[in-house]
Amino acid sequence: MKIGLRGLALPLLIILVWWLAAGLGIGVGILPGPWEVIITCRGLLASGELQAHVRISLLRIVQGFLLAAGLAVPTGILAARFSPFAQYVSPLLGFLRQVPPVAWIPVLIMVLGIGEATKLAVIVYAAFFPIFMNTILGITQIDSSFWEVARLLELSPREVLRELVLPAAAPSLIAGLRLGMSNSWRALVAAEMLAAFSGLGYMITAARSLVRMDEMFIGIAAIGLFGLVIDWGWKLLERRVLRWQNRD
């Protein structure tokens, strides 16, 4: 109870300052108060507009993230287990890892247009590297004695993957997936601001062009809330999958 109240203290203080600032006319008189934003949010919910933008953004993030995980996990396993493969791909991937996803958006628009392919490419790019790096980290940290046991038991490559690699690398892998999802969520919003006609990022950009700060705040709040829910989901999954770590 105390932790919950402490966590609410700062948000409530920010809302109070916001309410006072709107009442004093700060922001050239266009800063809406909290109640105005609530009324606008009710209208967007009643019309279904907010739900439509949220649904589109969530669908994009799921599709892009699954594609990124499907590429990054096998690539990370190969790079961790076969040094020649790592020598081929590491220089290029090391270079690309330093370039933020937003920097590629203009290039992707020129090449792919402003369709769904651009948004998916940005999501995959943003999520790939955390998953890839954590997959390598998890596998390289497996104790050598486990590999020796696998050789003594003459496990097949599939059995090694199922019985050794995935369980042992699970903590690092889940951390990479969680970080990749967080990165891709932020990158998606940026892509929707620049190359979309739907989604939460587009909603904010459209509200800016109409000088509707109330709708901008609603879009920002939706991004933060759904990002928080997604992160909580990963925490619950991590506790469930790695519950063996807490056993005495």
Share of the chain above pLDDT 70, in %: 94
54, 226 Cβ separation under 8 angstroms: yes
Q: Assess whether pLDDT exceeds 70 at residue 198.
A: yes
Confidence (pTM): 0.84
SS3 state at 115: coil
Closest CA to 104 of 124, 79, 87, 88: 124
Residue 112's alpha-carbon distances to 7, 116, 186, in angstroms, are: 44, 9, 20
Averaged pLDDT for residues 142-163: 80
Domains of the chain: 37-242 (1.10.3720.10)
What is the overall mean pLDDT for the chain?
A: 86
Interval 25-81: pLDDT, tens: 765 557 788 888 899 999 999 999 999 999 999 999 999 999 999 999 999 999 988
